[in-house]
Chain A
């Protein structure tokens, strides 16, 4: 085959590209083991003198890592669970139920994907500030800080995802109506049909959407930064590590920051390696990340 005529050229290109991709990660790991005065000095050296674990210790101590980890886990778990449940319910309604206004709602869902996130930073923040009866607010949202100081604020703008609904709906359309009808004749209500028939059939899509949502939520930075500036108690891992640079011993800033980064990307990396098939399909279905 003509495409296979110069395999060595292909290998050269692909391996070079892979090295360029992986080297920054290796540099991160290597730097995380470097001692005081060893990183960022001339001449540059790739390998550390000794594999010193004290930077990890320092990152964990300085960062209050358990709290950051807890906040990241709670926000990510709530977002992922909510996106999966709402996408699946709404997707089922839009794919398999007849009701007035269905086309309009489907178009609304599609149009939500068109609005860029930056358009919402200011109004979302102001809505959460004025959230009624939260954070010292009265019924009309006056007098307090609203939800901006609570961990709920990390998750709220991300609880429903238009792309998720679209994805579930497209997949559910292909489930044969006869299967659902049979279940209904057997006496199942719509909730039962959704729970017992539709959900088990959509497991691969649920995994794909769940993984995609998890990775996005875990890595989210700008919104979490906004919320944690108002209240450091709800800081997430990415934000905490960015702030870390201001606190640590300046001769060891980079090694400690890199140690923190390694710890923060580890959960996503492990999950991705285990379930990459589903993640990759998600990226293909969404066009691009």
Chain B
């Protein structure tokens, strides 16, 4: 609202300044005017970044090294690295099972989603009505996590669809989300199920960029479809595969909304992950300090993966 109005006033003010002054100054004045306009256009954005990016980052860092409960800003007590130390102390659940779960969750999702999307994307590439298929595969992505989580939670129940299928096959029911051994894999399957659609999209785009002539040459050499897949498709798909792999891994490390909806981290800590632990410490127990420390540890993990991604992609570009 403000941002649409303020530039308009400069526009109106502009012609009056234009007529005054010698021509030599014209270019400098135009440049100066452009700078003023640019900062006006950027003002809402910069204001937002100051309040909702830079201030919070500093605040979070301060909190991670403080003891503080409640909302009175005067009550913040600096405690140095105590919060971090207690995360990794003996008997703390943070390293195991929580951080371990986080990594297993991300890793499991990547493996399942990648395998599924590679198979589907290579097959879709051969078919008609590609748009229709892609739309179907896309449904989970545009759906809220509350819907996805609840439908699957219900499907995992003794009287739900998954157990219904197992029973029809003559198998007994499984208490998927109630059994600590099956709970985490069960949620991983749902998260992977929700990620396949976008991975398929990126991979189909990668497949389309492989020149048809490679396949024709392979056909002339008498290569079978399996050899073509391993020797041509997969190596040339490497950039897209890397992109999918790493972005999925990062989003897997961060995700907890699905777990919140499906298991709330239980049974016990069987499906608890770092972001959820942070959320619980902060908003269930009011432990701002330990929660912020947990957030920063997870952030460092994500940052390392992100930097690895940047490094791999830069190297990839140099290869070409």
Task: Describe B's contact surface by its main secondary structure.
Answer: helix
Q: When A and B form their complex, which 3 residue pairs have the shortest distance between CB atoms, in order from nearest?
A: A44-B164, A189-B11, A123-B56
Residues of B within 8 A of A278 (CB): none
User: How many residues on chain B are close to A (CB under 8 Å)?
Assistant: 116
Give Cα A44 to B154, complex, Å: 11
Could you give 18 example pairs across A and B, Cβ below 8 Å?
A: A2-B216, A17-B116, A28-B147, A40-B159, A42-B159, A44-B160, A93-B38, A112-B49, A116-B298, A119-B60, A122-B291, A122-B295, A126-B59, A127-B52, A191-B10, A222-B260, A241-B147, A264-B144
B282 at the interface (CB under 8 A from A): yes
Give Cα A276 to B142, complex, Å: 10
- For residue B125, give the distance in angstroms from its CB to the closest CB of chain A: 7
Q: Which residue of A lies closest to B291 (CB)?
A: A122
Residues of A within 8 A of B275 (CB): 118
Are A92 and B41 touching (Cβ within 8 A)? yes
A50 at the interface (CB under 8 A from B): no
Are A273 and B135 touching (Cβ within 8 A)? yes
With beta carbons under 8 angstroms apart, the residue of B71, B120, B146, B215 that contacts A3 is B215
Are B137 and A18 touching (Cβ within 8 A)? yes
Residues of B within 8 A of A123 (CB): 55-57, 59-60, 63
Bitwise, A75-114 to B at CB < 8 A (1) or not (0) is 0000000000110011011100111101001001100101
Which residues 261-280 of A have a CB within 8 angstroms of B?
261, 264-265, 268-269, 272-273, 276, 279-280
Which residues 233-258 of A have a CB within 8 angstroms of B?
237-239, 241-242, 254, 257-258
Q: A1-B219, A127-B59, A268-B142 are in contact. Are A46 and B161 (CB under 8 A)?
A: yes
Give Cα A3 to B135, complex, Å: 23
Q: A40-B157, A126-B288, A219-B144 are in contact. Are A191 and B127 (CB under 8 A)?
A: no
With beta carbons under 8 angstroms apart, the residue of B39, B142, B154 that contacts A269 is B142
User: How many residues on chain A are close to B (CB under 8 Å)?
Assistant: 107
Which residues 26-54 of B have a CB within 8 angstroms of A?
31, 34-35, 37-39, 41-42, 44-46, 48-49, 51-53
Segment with Cβ contacts to A, from B1-9, B83-91, B93-101, B178-186:
B1-9
B23 at the interface (CB under 8 A from A): no
Give Cα A13 to B196, complex, Å: 14
Residues of B within 8 A of A42 (CB): 158-159, 167
Are A99 and B39 touching (Cβ within 8 A)? yes
B163 at the interface (CB under 8 A from A): yes
Q: A21-B140, A90-B41 are in contact. Are A1 and B158 (CB under 8 A)?
A: no
A-B contact count (CB 8 A): 321
Segment with Cβ contacts to B, from A54-62, A152-160, A200-208:
A152-160
Bitwise, B225-261 to A at CB < 8 A (1) or not (0) is 1001000000000000001100110110010110011
- For residue B265, give the distance in angstroms from its CB to the closest CB of chain A: 14
- For residue B242, give the distance in angstroms from its CB to the closest CB of chain A: 11
A65 at the interface (CB under 8 A from B): no
Q: Measuring CB to CB, which residues of chain B are less than 8 angstroms from any residue of chain A?
A: 3-4, 7-8, 10-12, 14-15, 31, 34-35, 37-39, 41-42, 44-46, 48-49, 51-53, 55-57, 59-60, 63, 71-73, 116, 119-120, 122-127, 133-148, 150-152, 154-155, 157-161, 163-165, 167, 193, 195-199, 201-202, 205, 212, 215-216, 218-219, 223, 225, 228, 243-244, 247-248, 250-251, 254, 256-257, 260-261, 275, 278-279, 282-283, 288, 291-292, 295-296, 298-299, 302-303, 306
Q: A2-B215, A10-B123, A108-B49 are in contact. Are A89 and B60 (CB under 8 A)?
A: no
Q: Which residue of B lies closest to A28 (CB)?
A: B151
- For residue B219, give the distance in angstroms from its CB to the closest CB of chain A: 4
Are A272 and B161 touching (Cβ within 8 A)? no
A129 at the interface (CB under 8 A from B): yes
Are A99 and B34 touching (Cβ within 8 A)? yes
Q: Which residue of B lies closest to A226 (CB)?
A: B283
- For residue B287, give the distance in angstroms from its CB to the closest CB of chain A: 10
Task: Describe A's contact surface by its main secondary structure.
Answer: helix
Bitwise, A157-199 to B at CB < 8 A (1) or not (0) is 1011000010000000000000000000001111110100000
A51 at the interface (CB under 8 A from B): no
Are B14 and A189 touching (Cβ within 8 A)? yes
Give Cα A121 to B167, complex, Å: 43
Are B133 and A18 touching (Cβ within 8 A)? yes
Give Cα A157 to B56, complex, Å: 11
Give Cα A226 to B257, complex, Å: 12
Of B120, B219, B248, most A-chain CB atoms within 10 Å: B120
Residues of A within 8 A of B12 (CB): 189
Residues of B within 8 A of A45 (CB): 164
A228 at the interface (CB under 8 A from B): no
Which residues 64-78 of A have a CB within 8 angstroms of B?
none
Are A190 and B201 touching (Cβ within 8 A)? no
Are A21 and B136 touching (Cβ within 8 A)? yes
Q: Which residue of B lies closest to A238 (CB)?
A: B146
Residues of B within 8 A of A121 (CB): 278-279, 282-283, 295
Are B196 and A21 touching (Cβ within 8 A)? yes
A139 at the interface (CB under 8 A from B): no
Q: A222-B279, A264-B144, A284-B205 are in contact. Are A254 and B51 (CB under 8 A)?
A: no
Give Cα A98 to B31, complex, Å: 7
Are A40 and B160 touching (Cβ within 8 A)? yes
Give Cα A287 to B306, complex, Å: 13
Give Cα A272 to B197, complex, Å: 14
- For residue A84, give the distance in angstroms from its CB to the closest CB of chain B: 11
- For residue B130, give the distance in angstroms from its CB to the closest CB of chain A: 9
